[in-house]
Homo-oligomer: A and B are copies of this chain.
Amino acid sequence: MKATIKDVARLAGVSVSTVSRALHHNPRISEEVRQKVHRVAKELDFHPNQMARSLVSRKTRIVGLMFPGSAAFSMGHPFYPAVLRGLGQVAGERRYHMLLSTGSENLSDAEAVRDLADSGYVSGLILLAAQDSPMEELLPSQALPVVEIGHPPQAENRYYVDNDNVKAGYAATQYLLARGHRRILFLGYSSRFFVTVDRRAGYEQALTQAGLIPQKEWVVSSSFIENTTDNALLESLFQGQGRPTAVVSMDDALSIGLIGFLKTLGLAVPKDVSIISFNNTQAGQFASPALTTIDVDPYLLGVSAMQLLLDILKGRVQEPTHVEVPFQLIQRDSVAEAPLP
């Protein structure tokens, strides 16, 4: 049987309320009593019952985590474990716990969020908002603070943490332009993803600024796994004279797929085609050639998100804010000077 606050009170020879205050370092308690209470508590291995505590305080020390398409699915990409590491680090330090959205197969993201909120177990929510989803309307109903990682379209009155992906897309493109490339392809997964949209804006901004006109046909999505029609499209693009000499690719996995694909067309990276990539994964580091890539620092994304949420819960943040996490361009071997025209 676990020790309760009453046991501590009895053994310390004080009242229950005194124990409570002593453990909370309330200044109204004398140093002497405070020490004694702490000693007894330790002796009994007393841990306050969180349920009772939460019942009166109307708060828990748990935050809900919502990964797109349920945690288990997204974990396939190294980005998410890294975010999780950041989240867990801060949560652990501040003695919070993390509740995973249990992703049943037949449960939409929005339903999963609602479920988390309704459960009553969490005091706040962290949403990995990779793509647009209809969770807007149901959040106000529960009065739960929400921090999003990756920012939603209309983000004025939301709390979120993100890279400046427009700037990142710009930087990547600029890096290629500076090396003489003029025919630059933009390769992403799907325009449903926020990152794709933002980085594309940066890409077009850089092109325009260099006096080039962004071509709609040169913005392509593919996954190199299922979708053979996309690959046919890519194949036609890379045939012939006016082919791209460089690619801005939204993810290392995509880039690695691309390298293999280009090889089948007789094109070598970076000799014939340069690639600048995103996400700095281990796979990209060991690929050949090793990928020049932009590290968006998912760990820091996680750290910042959890810090922001816990600060909100503590009442230290009032107005909707966002935190920008810096990215870093990592030079390796997948980009070369553009071949002479």
In the bound assembly, the distance between CA atoms of A141 and B44 in angstroms comes to 12
Binds B, one of A54-62, A243-251, A262-270: A54-62
In the bound assembly, the distance between CA atoms of A277 and B240 in angstroms comes to 42
Binds B, one of A29-37, A95-103, A185-193, A325-333: A95-103
Chain A window 57-79, contacts with chain B (Cβ cutoff 8 Å), 1 for yes, 0 for no: 00011100100001111011010
Q: How many copies does the complex hold?
A: 2
Contact (Cβ within 8 A) B102 A99:
no
Binds B, one of A85-93, A155-163, A171-179, A310-318: A85-93
Contact (Cβ within 8 A) B76 A72:
no
Contact (Cβ within 8 A) B65 A76:
no
Contact (Cβ within 8 A) B47 A120:
yes
Contact partner, A88, options B50, B72, B76, B84, Cβ 8 Å = B72
**Chain B nearest CB, measured from A80 CB (Å):** 7
Contact (Cβ within 8 A) B71 A89:
no
Chain B residues with Cβ below 8 Å from A55 are 49, 51-52, 55
| A194 at the binding interface (Cβ < 8 Å) | no
* Interface magnitude class on chain A: 35 or more
**Chain B nearest CB, measured from A223 CB (Å):** 13
In the bound assembly, the distance between CA atoms of A302 and B247 in angstroms comes to 40
**Chain B nearest CB, measured from A251 CB (Å):** 15
In the bound assembly, the distance between CA atoms of A80 and B100 in angstroms comes to 15
Contact (Cβ within 8 A) B80 A75:
yes
**Chain B nearest CB, measured from A104 CB (Å):** 3
Chain B residues with Cβ below 8 Å from A102 are 88, 91-92, 96-98
Chain B residues with Cβ below 8 Å from A96 are 102
Given contacts A71-B88, A105-B89, contact A100 B65 (CB under 8 A): yes
| A43 at the binding interface (Cβ < 8 Å) | no
With A51-B54, A61-B119, A97-B102 given, name 4 new contacts (CB 8 A): A65-B100, A71-B81, A92-B103, A98-B100
Which residues of chain A have a CB within 8 Å of any CB of chain B? 45, 47-52, 54-55, 60-62, 65, 70-73, 75-76, 78, 80-82, 84-85, 87-89, 91-93, 96-100, 102-105, 107, 116, 118-121, 141
Closest CB pairs A-B (n = 6) = A92-B104, A72-B85, A75-B81, A92-B102, A72-B84, A50-B120
What are 22 contact pairs spanning A and B, CB under 8 A? A48-B120, A49-B55, A49-B120, A51-B51, A51-B52, A61-B119, A70-B85, A71-B81, A72-B85, A73-B85, A75-B80, A76-B81, A85-B103, A88-B103, A89-B104, A92-B102, A96-B102, A97-B99, A97-B121, A99-B99, A99-B100, A121-B121
